[in-house]
Structure 1
Amino acid sequence: MLGCRVDGFTLKEAVELLSCFIASGKPHHVVTLNAEMAYRALHDPELKDIINRADLVTPDGAGVVWATRILGTPVPERVAGIDLVQALAWQAAEKGWRLFLYGGVPGVAEEAARKLKERHPGLNIIGTSHGYLSKEEERELLQHLKENRPHLLLVALGSPKQEYWIAQHLKELGVPVAIGVGGSLDVLAGRIRRAPRFMQGLGLEWLYRVLQEPKRVKRVLALPKFIIAVLTQARKLKRTKRLK
């Protein structure tokens, strides 16, 4: 889709795959792909390469699910970053996986950790950090992660910063699973409310988010461009098939 790989796993299958990643002990990068990121990657070869080299790329947004259907290779369902995190938290509490939460404004990761522990007794969150670190503080964070080796590292620096950060540091950290989770920590911390089920079902979660955070409207302007790019790709595919 627009040159980006999208993996056709259900949420249940994605959690099972990540469980295998953790069991392997080897580092893995998970990308939660939405329309805005996919459109940016169309004009950012380095980001596109990071996405396509990732070990799992989930269809995070309704726009991506729509695009795969239009292009003739539909994914079974949307696998949003927030749903993936919540499903993994259940598994982590049961299996003893260690988590680290990195990103958001000061206080968000800590509050998200507290609320996750309330929902999942026994969940082992070994640390948190906000996403506004100095160079020295970031070096200390990297050292802490190398020494304590969480099984799951949730990185909420916003896209594409979180994708670049994971790609740059994953190998040295050796974390079995690092996931770029965008604004998921804000939702988990209760700073942002998630859209009602009916809006999620209609693919309007992005609109609900904009109503809560009007400053995000500039980012939404990428959606019409994304739609045009997908329809252009679909026309080219149909033309190619006719020529064959």
Structure 2
Amino acid sequence: MIRNVLNIKIDDVSEDEALDKVTSYLKRSDPKKVRPFLIATVGPEFLLTAQKDKEFAKILNAASLSLPEGFGLQLYGGIKNRIPGRLFMIDLCREAAKNDWSIGLLGGWAGDGKKVVVKLRQMFPAIKISLVVDGDQATAIKNGFDLESTIKKPIDILFVGFGHPYQEKVLARSRDWFRVGVGVGGAIDYLAGRYPEPPKFLQSIGFEWLWRLVTQPRRLGRILKATFVFPIVLAFRALNTKY
């Protein structure tokens, strides 16, 4: 079901439904004719950014899938489902290994890419990793350098971990170089072991943000936007609409 929150489209689907949409697309589309399928994993702070950044808002609304990631969307935005980006990334990697689809990794600190490759190959020995870009080279692409100079041929699934809105803008301008492109935020950092993953019980009750605050204090600003600013903006928007 498609919902609208602060004038941004959200695909309120389960993780299984989202995975089925992506795998069905990859299985039926011709690899020689690149038809990009862009996926955004959207949290409340995305919607706040999109209120001021019209280019970003346009990209989100044009995405093939805008998946609800943040707990605030469930609590305040009327969204039923929640799909953590890093878990969805692992699910896609599992499907890629099964179907001989290539993946690419773009983002992370210098050296993180190699760590993620090791991790993914431990999990899925058959996985085909065609591109790994991290550190300064990834930062250059984030800041506007063309991906074309780095990539040799289109990739089936490209994961970009720059955080919003950078990862979505990179994907939007690099559509010729992937079949499925996914903005995955900090998923690459987690897979590289840079930060400890939140306990499952915190994930299940929607308190993953608290774990992130403890382990990554620099995220305080983003967490405050998601947990406090977002519901206030929603409330004001509802009042303005009503009156």
For the superposition of Structure 1 and Structure 2, which TM-score range results when normalised by the shorter chain? 0.7 to 0.9
Query: How does the TM-score come out when normalised to structure 2?
Result: 0.88
Q: Secondary structure at the match of 1:151?
A: strand
Alignment RMSD: 2.1
Query: How does the TM-score come out when normalised to structure 1?
Result: 0.87
Task: Please say which of residues 104-113 and 20-29 is displaced more in the overlay.
Answer: 20-29
Give the C-alpha shift of residue 110 in structure 1. Answer: 1.7
Residue equivalent to 2:201: 198
> For the residues of structure 2 that align with 1:154 and 1:196, how far apart are their CA atoms?
24
| Percent identity for Structure 1 against Structure 2 | 29
> For the residues of structure 2 that align with 1:212 and 1:19, how far apart are their CA atoms?
34
Q: Secondary structure at the match of 1:6?
A: strand
Find the partner of 1:152 among 138, 153, 157: 157
> For the residues of structure 1 that align with 2:205 and 2:141, how far apart are their CA atoms?
45
Q: Which ranges of 4 or more aligned residues in structure 1 deviate by more than 3 Å?
A: 134-141, 233-237
Change (3 A) 1:140 1:110: farther
Change (3 A) 1:140 1:112: same
Find the partner of 1:182 among 181, 185, 188: 185
> For the residues of structure 1 that align with 2:171 and 2:72, how far apart are their CA atoms?
24
Aligned amino acid, residue 115 of structure 1: K
After superposition, residues 1-244 of structure 1 pair within 5 angstroms as: 1-23=5-27, 24=29, 25=31, 26-69=35-78, 74-75=79-80, 77-133=81-137, 141-145=147-151, 147-170=152-175, 172-173=176-177, 175-223=178-226, 224-235=228-239, 239=242
In structure 1, stretches of 5+ residues that fail to align are: none
Give the C-alpha shift of residue 236 in structure 1. Answer: 5.1
> For the residues of structure 1 that align with 2:180 and 2:160, how far apart are their CA atoms?
11
> For the residues of structure 1 that align with 2:202 and 2:98, how far apart are their CA atoms?
31
Q: Secondary structure at the match of 2:9?
A: coil
> For the residues of structure 1 that align with 2:112 and 2:88, how far apart are their CA atoms?
19
> For the residues of structure 2 that align with 1:233 and 1:135, how far apart are their CA atoms?
37
Aligned amino acid, residue 37 of structure 2: H
Structure with the larger strand share: 2
Aligned amino acid, residue 156 of structure 1: G
Contact 2:59 2:172 (8 Å CA) reproduced: yes
Give the C-alpha shift of residue 66 in structure 1. Answer: 2.1
In structure 2, stretches of 5+ residues that fail to align are: none
Change (3 A) 1:136 1:36: closer
Q: Secondary structure at the match of 2:76?
A: helix
Contact 1:102 1:131 (8 Å CA) reproduced: no
Change (3 A) 1:126 1:3: same
Query: Deviation string for 1:87-107 (max 9, x for gaps)?
Result: 111111111110010101111
Contact 1:32 1:57 (8 Å CA) reproduced: yes
Contact 2:141 2:170 (8 Å CA) reproduced: no
Contact 1:131 1:157 (8 Å CA) reproduced: no
